[in-house]
């Protein structure tokens, strides 16, 4: 079970106000965007794919928020939420590379076989002349 700190800057939420927290779930090798940078950065396929590579995960996961507030650290617990993680950018690139590699390898093997057949044909014709 992993724990993610939703409030790493230890910011306060005052009464009758709202404060948004955007926790980042990663293994630490990626460079998550800060809250200030996130809206300014456009979507990048390459950046997302690298992040999926460094933080590879597939499957159904669950999350639950446990927050404390007040001077006596009163606890608030939320219901468990389930979500699916599927690294579609990484899967897409893997499929394209795999299919491209398959066709390249098939073409190279066919050329090699044709070259061998031509050599065998030339050898056979030379043997028949003798």
Q: Tell me, what's the pLDDT at 37?
A: 53
> Residues 112, 76: one domain?
no
Q: Quote the CA–CA distance of 15 and 99 in Å, as a whole number.
A: 57
| Tally of structural domains, the chain | 2
Q: Residue 51: what pLDDT?
A: 85
CA 99: distance to chain centroid? 19
Same structural domain, 36 and 82: yes
66 and 103 belong to one structural domain: no
* The predicted structure's pLDDT at residue 13: 81
At 16-27, the pLDDT tens digits run 888 888 777 777
The predicted pLDDT at position 39 comes to 57
The confidence score (pLDDT) of residue 95 equals 96
Q: What are phi and psi of 113, to 5 degrees?
A: -65, -40
Structure tokens at 49: 């794919």
Are 129 and 67 in the same domain? no
Residues with Cβ within 8 Å of 88's Cβ and at least 6 positions away in sequence, in order, are: none
Residue 45: half-sphere exposure toward Cβ, Cα within 13 Å: 6
Q: Which residues constitute the domain of residue 13?
A: 1-86
> Are residues 95 and 76 located together in one domain of the fold?
no
Instruction: Assess whether 35 and 66 both reside in one domain.
Output: yes
Low-confidence stretches of the chain (pLDDT < 70) are 28-40
Looking at the structure, do residues 77 and 116 belong to the same domain, yes or no? Answer: no
């Amino acid at each position: 079970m992993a724990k993610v700190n939703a409030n790493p800057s230890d910011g306060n939420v005052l009464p009758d106000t709202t404060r948004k927290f955007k926790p980042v779930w990663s293994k630490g090798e990626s460079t998550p965007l800060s809250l200030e940078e996130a809206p300014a950065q456009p979507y990048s396929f390459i950046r997302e794919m690298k992040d999926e590579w460094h933080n590879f995960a597939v499957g159904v996961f669950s999350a639950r928020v446990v927050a404390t507030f007040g001077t006596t650290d009163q606890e608030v617990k939320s219901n468990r939420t389930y979500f699916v993680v599927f690294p579609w950018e990484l899967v897409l690139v893997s499929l394209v590379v795999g299919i491209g590699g398959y066709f390249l390898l098939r073409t190279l093997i066919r050329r090699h076989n044709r070259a061998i057949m031509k050599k065998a044909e030339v050898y056979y014709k030379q043997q028949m002349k003798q």
